[in-house]
């Protein structure tokens, strides 16, 4: 049995890409151009998450604290991260989202595991995420796979 894909999507973190100094739009354009040249045409896209995937964790959902083992602790997780120099009061997300997740879990004595990310995905989701890359992902998937289209 041969599977056929109708679309191609490449997603990657800007941090660790080896091209951290390049604008996100340039990175995405280069990858999309390569996908198009490889035969995907306008059925392919690239999305660069800046700085990294863990940015989606830091929405204003009340479930974040619980999933990271912080429920009921004082100070609040956000305040603690501010005290640690990980989150500036005027910013919507920690400056290093992956490190913030790791520190929070370590402080709560909760092991970092795929189960934590699964719980975050199940309860927090992407609806409240304000990250531009993830908003583009949602919009792209809605364009490629409209809800009213039979599959």
pLDDT along the chain (151 residues), means of 10: 83 92 94 96 94 88 91 92 94 92 96 93 80 91 84 52
The pLDDT value given to residue 46:
97
* d(C-alpha 96, C-alpha 100), whole Å: 6
What pLDDT, on a 0 to 100 scale, did the predictor assign at position 3?
65
Per the listing, tokens 């604290």 go with 65
What pTM was estimated for this model as a whole? 0.80
Look at residue 112 in the predicted model and tell me its pLDDT. Answer: 93
Residue appearing with tokens 């997740």: 101
Residues in the chain: 151
Helices (H) and strands (E) in the chain, counts: 6, 2
Q: How many CB atoms lie within 10 A of CB 147?
A: 5
Predicted confidence at residue 124, as pLDDT, reads 84
């Amino acid at each position: 049995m041969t599977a056929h894909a109708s679309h191609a999507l490449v997603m990657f973190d800007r941090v660790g890409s080896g091209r951290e100094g390049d604008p996100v739009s340039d990175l995405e354009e280069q990858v999309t151009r390569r996908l198009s040249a490889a035969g995907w045409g306008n059925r392919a896209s690239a999305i660069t998450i800046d700085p990294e995937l863990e940015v989606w964790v830091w929405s204003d959902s009340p479930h974040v604290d619980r999933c990271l083992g912080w429920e009921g602790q004082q100070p609040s997780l956000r305040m603690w991260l501010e005290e640690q120099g990980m989150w500036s009061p005027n910013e919507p997300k920690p400056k290093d989202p992956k490190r913030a997740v790791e520190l929070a879990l370590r402080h709560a004595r909760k092991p970092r595991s795929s189960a934590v990310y699964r719980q975050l995905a199940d309860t927090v989701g992407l609806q409240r995420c304000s990250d531009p890359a993830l908003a583009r992902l949602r919009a792209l998937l809605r364009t490629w796979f409209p809800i009213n289209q039979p599959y």
